[in-house]
Amino acid sequence: MQIVMAQHNELGKAGEELALKHLRKSGYTILAVNWYYGHEEIDIIAKDGETLVVVEVKTRAGTDFGEPEFAVNRRKQKSIVRVADAYIQENDLDVETRFDVISVVINKNETQLHHIEDAFYPTI
């Protein structure tokens, strides 16, 4: 039996690979990829100097429904912060933490990557 990955999953994986290449090229150290806490996930956890960077990657085939980064709404932000907190506690870290979003558009005409540093701040 062959399992075929959904096209959106393949697109998401391609976006994450581009994001990882971008971060490495920019001097980031990758600590974890697809880190889970329960059913919630952080796409990429990296270090930029001494700062822990939690990265959400959003990939789309186009912008007909808005830029990919707009999908990181308040609910998604809270989930990311909750999982980041679990990672920090599990690894006994005491570091500055930044939340970035990498927006990727991949289609037959173009590939665009937009790295938004400090995309959002954790709220109580």
DSSP annotation of 108: S
| 94 within a domain of the structure (yes/no) | yes
Q: Would the pTM count as exceeding 0.85?
A: yes
Q: Per-residue pLDDT averaged across 40-47, rounded?
A: 97
| 2 within a domain of the structure (yes/no) | no
Q: What is the pLDDT of residue 124?
A: 57
**Boundaries of domain holding 14:** 7-116
Q: How many domains does the chain have?
A: 1
Determine the longest span between alpha carbons in the chain, in angstroms.
47
At residue 34, φ and ψ (nearest 5 deg) are 55, 60
Q: What is the pLDDT of residue 6?
A: 55
For the cut 50, the answer to whether the pLDDT of residue 64 exceeds it is yes
| 32 within a domain of the structure (yes/no) | yes
Sequence-distant (6+) residues with CB within 8 A of 72 are 56, 58, 80, 101, 119, 120
Decide: helix, strand or coil at residue 15.
Answer: helix
CA distance 14 to 106: 8
| 1 within a domain of the structure (yes/no) | no
Q: Per-residue pLDDT averaged across 59-64, rounded?
A: 86
